[in-house]
Structure 1
């Protein structure tokens, strides 16, 4: 998945992101604003994942999504 597409459709995507990673708040999702590095950082912070683990989770989640 091209991250530019995700970033451009962030307002449509953030609901499903919230369902997947429920520890993220609405304010945090707004601050992330489709930025992959910010999303990765928040997932590391909330779930205690390494950077590689967070990026793998993100890539796996968005790989098969139709936007």
Structure 2
């Protein structure tokens, strides 16, 4: 299962703000996004939130 790339295209700032509202402990470095490196972002988010890849994918798709 890959990261939901469609959520990142064109609206990363909006997605990032929603993530920060849910997980205030995340830093800007945790939320650093580079196009084509979604899996790295997912890895950081998984480690910091304790969610599985499936949980994180489901959560991000429904932001």
Q: What TM-score, normalized to structure 1?
A: 0.57
Moved over 4 A (4+): none
Count of aligned positions: 59
Name stretches of at least 5 consecutive residues in structure 1 with no aligned partner: none
Q: What TM-score, normalized to structure 2?
A: 0.59
Tell me the C-alpha RMSD between the 2 structures: 2.7
CA distance in 2, matches of 1:7, 1:63: 10
1:1-67 counterparts in 2 under 5 A?
Answer: 3-8=4-9, 9-29=11-31, 31-33=32-34, 35-47=37-49, 49=50, 53=52, 55-65=53-63
Please identify which structure carries the higher helix content. Answer: 1
Name stretches of at least 5 consecutive residues in structure 2 with no aligned partner: none
